[in-house]
Amino acid sequence: MKNMKKTLLVAAISAATSQAMAGLYVDLQANQSDLNRSGLDWYAPHGTDNTDDVGAGDYEYVEPSAETGLSLGLGMDLGSNWTGTIRYSAIDFSEKDSVTTNDELVASRVHSDWNDVAENDWDQGTSKYELDQTTIELELAYNFDFGGDKGALAPLFGIRSTSIEQSMATYYDDTANTSGTNVTESVDHDLMGLYAGVEGQWKFNKLVGIEGRVDLGIMQADASRTNLETINDGGDIAVNTGDDFAETATMTNAKLGVVFAALESDSLNLDVGLGLQYSSIDGLSDFIHFPDDVVNGSLSRSQQSLGTSGYYLNVGASF
């Protein structure tokens, strides 16, 4: 699948730079996005409400801060109202959380058969979560006008390749005996599939209008997960496992904003857009939780909720 990504990128760049085609446009977009991610709980106070059982609502979570992602699109007028576009986008998230307390704490990430991270044997720790996501899209759209010259609508479809790499490294420590436990987890997905949608624009006048887009895709995902747990400050391995499998996921993207005509001339048109954006991926498996929970010879799987939401600033130029 990674070789397929390189082939797509090379083929699309060659098409977009072909001198035989006229009507080039370049689109640069910056997204300030929050990450919406389930399953990042890593500790809780022990004995909440005078009981030894702690519910999921009592856990503390690693909460990544908003980050800026970039997207670059290159397109061509293919004639007969058709346009072709290649688009590359990337965004990274990273966040570290720590706790030190005199109270007993509960580890919620991984419990091995050795019970090395027991319900009440540690009082400080750190956890770091990272996500890297890159996407390549090849897209065709059919454009038509409505409402005179005020409205434009473009049904679209394409092929999308997305790589998502996630990791979480957690350290639990008991200051009484300095016996620390490290839990290192990863889950990587290489996704490929088709999508379809529509985008449009309505101009209130020559300077200001609104724009929007929505698309939905179905993707085949190659998943790879690992889980490594060491105890006694790294002296012994308690868990070292992983798995590889395929699954199906859906991706939804949407944006809505205001667009301004910054420049119009015979040789160059420049637009600036500002608005809200949303993206969601459903159907992806999460980190390996409780590696001793094996069903029919396979590690148990739970699905994660993964998406972004925030603001975008877009600059588009057509020649």
Tell me which residue of 281, 285, 216 sits closest to 246, measured CA to CA.
Answer: 285
- Compute the distance between CA of residue 271 and CA of residue 314 in angstroms, rounded to an integer: 8
Domains and CATH numbers, the chain: 2-318 (2.40.128.100)
Tell me which residue of 1, 310, 3, 8 sits closest to 158, measured CA to CA.
Answer: 8
- Assign 14 a pLDDT band (cuts: 50, 70, 90): very low
**Tokens at residue 43, please?**
């500790």
Residue 55 has pLDDT above 70, yes or no: no
pLDDT, tens digit, 9 for 90 and up, residues 96-114: 999 888 777 777 655 444 4
For residues 247, 192, 139 and 254, what is the CA-based torsion angle, rounded to 10 degrees? 40
The model's pTM is 0.86
Tell me which residue of 243, 242, 245 sits closest to 222, measured CA to CA.
Answer: 245
| Whether 290 contacts 241, CB under 8 Å | no
pLDDT, tens digit, 9 for 90 and up, residues 212-243: 999 999 999 999 999 888 877 777 887 888 99
- Mean pLDDT rounded to a whole number for the chain: 84
pLDDT, tens digit, 9 for 90 and up, residues 263-295: 888 889 999 999 999 999 999 999 987 665 665
- Assign 144 a pLDDT band (cuts: 50, 70, 90): very high
Tell me which residue of 102, 86, 113 sits closest to 24, measured CA to CA.
Answer: 86
Burial 136-152 (b: 16+ CB within 10 A, else e): bbbbebebeeeeeeeeb
Residue ranges of E strands in the chain: 24-37, 41-45, 60-61, 67-79, 82-107, 122-142, 144-146, 151-173, 181-203, 208-231, 236-264, 269-282, 294-295, 298-299, 306-318
- Compute the distance between CA of residue 70 and CA of residue 309 in angstroms, rounded to an integer: 14
Beta bridge partners of 111: none
Average pLDDT of span 85-95: 98
